Structure 1
Amino acid sequence: MAFSQRTTLISHHRTHSREKPYQCCQCDQAFSLTISIIYHMRTHTGEKPYQCRQCEKAFLQNSDLIKHMRIHTREKTCQYNLCDKAFSMNCYLIKHLRTHTGEKTYQCRQCDKAFSLKTYLISHHRTHTRQKPYQCYQCDQAFSQNNSLIKHMRTYTGRNHFNAAYVSRLSQRTVIL
């Protein structure tokens, strides 16, 4: 392998030596690249310099903004040829592939069940912990599933449709697995 700049060679060498000379002054994390510590420091400062002009959502890295923009442009660069489906992000394609393969990569540590999506495993895990992170803001009832809270909220409003993200923000307590 040949490198045109000495700094690139040094950075490459660190991938093998696992040397991490850039230490965060606010936590114990260390990094091998200067750019990595710059991105990391933004998690402490809350800085998100890359902002979407269409919805004002902001991101730590430009690459995340570029991926996000596909939502607005409806650009679908990840194609699956066997069923002619296309997706805006590779992670969505991977999830879709599991519907064809039946692959269940997320294994429960407390029983023999496995799931194709991490969100399904998290939801299942609550059957073991009896954790109920979705709390009704009208009464003291709590639920293990977001959709159960939405059904419950209909008793107050009579509405059939709720924005699930809104309900989640109103009700969800911290979930620790």
Structure 2
Amino acid sequence: MIHTGEKPFLCSECKKTFAHLSTLKSHQRMHKGEKPFTCTECNKTFTQLPHLKSHQMTHTGEKPFICSECKKRFANLSNLKCHQRIHKREKPFKCTECNKRFTQLSHLKSHQLIHKGVKEFTCPECHKKFTLLKHLKSHQLIHTGEKPFTCLECHKSFAHLSTLKSHQLIHKDEKPFTCSTCKKRFTRLSTLKNHQRSHGGVEPFISTACNKRPSLKVTLLSKVE
């Protein structure tokens, strides 16, 4: 039936069809809520044996699936395939509200909360609300003063991984952001945007002390002081 494409076994619950009876029976456990496979380490239960075996690798630390592009390792084949979309630039999941596309369904679902205005995660310190839990956790570092991300080159610490990665470009001498007007390259996007004001004549910060228009906000602050 693999070669013919036939799927004669029909699920009475959701009308999904399968090539093999065993696959249908395994699928039907989801509708019945049956999870006969139990992890001996943490007692988590699963509907299918392959899912249990995949889960058990989180306890053993095994990562047998390797990305041929960047050599990153994964515990699950599904996670590897999902990761490979980044290299292939595939974004199969599309937001119906704004047409933004994503590599993973979970990323799309998280994004859609923005359109719905859902902010169910609240900071207990300042009561600021967030759409995603990761955004709340990132915000809370402001209150705790934690800087868990350390540069191996100069040992400077940062509150956010994104800030560390941006900082590390200095050591690598990488300048991924290019000015489309003069082709000058920059380490940070913010620096590029400030530079582009010199081409566009955009000087939004006015000094009340001398009535001049410095290009950067930092220049204005130094004049006021």
On whether the aligned pair clears a TM of 0.5, the verdict is yes
- 1:125 and 2:168 aligned: yes
Shift of 1:61: 2.5
- 1:67 and 2:119 aligned: no
User: Could you say which structure has the higher helix fraction?
Assistant: 1
Aligned partner letter, 1:56: N
Counterpart residue number, 1:172: none
Distance 1:30 1:147 in 2: 33
Secondary structure of 2:108 counterpart: helix
Secondary structure of 1:56 counterpart: coil
Bigger Rg, which one: 2
Shift of 1:55: 1.0
Q: 1:138 aligns with which of 172, 178, 181?
A: 181
Counterpart residue number, 1:174: none
- 1:111 and 2:154 aligned: yes
Secondary structure of 1:83 counterpart: coil
Shift of 1:71: 1.7
Counterpart residue number, 2:122: 79
Aligned partner letter, 1:155: S
Distance 2:66 2:153 in 1: 37
Segments of 5+ residues of structure 2 without an aligned counterpart are: 1-42, 205-225
Q: Describe the shift of the 1:140–1:49 C-alpha distance in structure 2 as closer, same or farther (beyond 3 A).
A: closer
Counterpart residue number, 2:192: 149
Secondary structure of 1:159 counterpart: coil
- 1:89 and 2:129 aligned: no
Counterpart residue number, 2:93: 50
Q: How many residues align?
A: 160
Normalised by the size of structure 2, how large is the TM-score?
0.57
Aligned residues of 2:125 and 2:143 also touching (Cα < 8 A): no
Alignment RMSD (CA, Å): 3.1
Shift of 1:108: 1.8
- Per-residue CA deviation, residues 94-134 of structure 1 (Å, 9 max, x unaligned), is 12111001101121222232111223323333444444333
Distance 1:131 1:5 in 2: 46
| Larger RCO: 1 or 2 (CA < 8 Å, sep 6+) | 1
Shift of 1:11: 3.4
Counterpart residue number, 1:168: none
Secondary structure of 2:129 counterpart: strand
Identity of aligned residues (%): 35
Aligned partner letter, 2:96: R
Q: 2:202 aligns with which of 154, 159, 163?
A: 159
- Per-residue CA deviation, residues 10-67 of structure 1 (Å, 9 max, x unaligned), is 334444456667777x666775545335534544654433210011112233211110
Segments of 5+ residues of structure 1 without an aligned counterpart are: 162-177
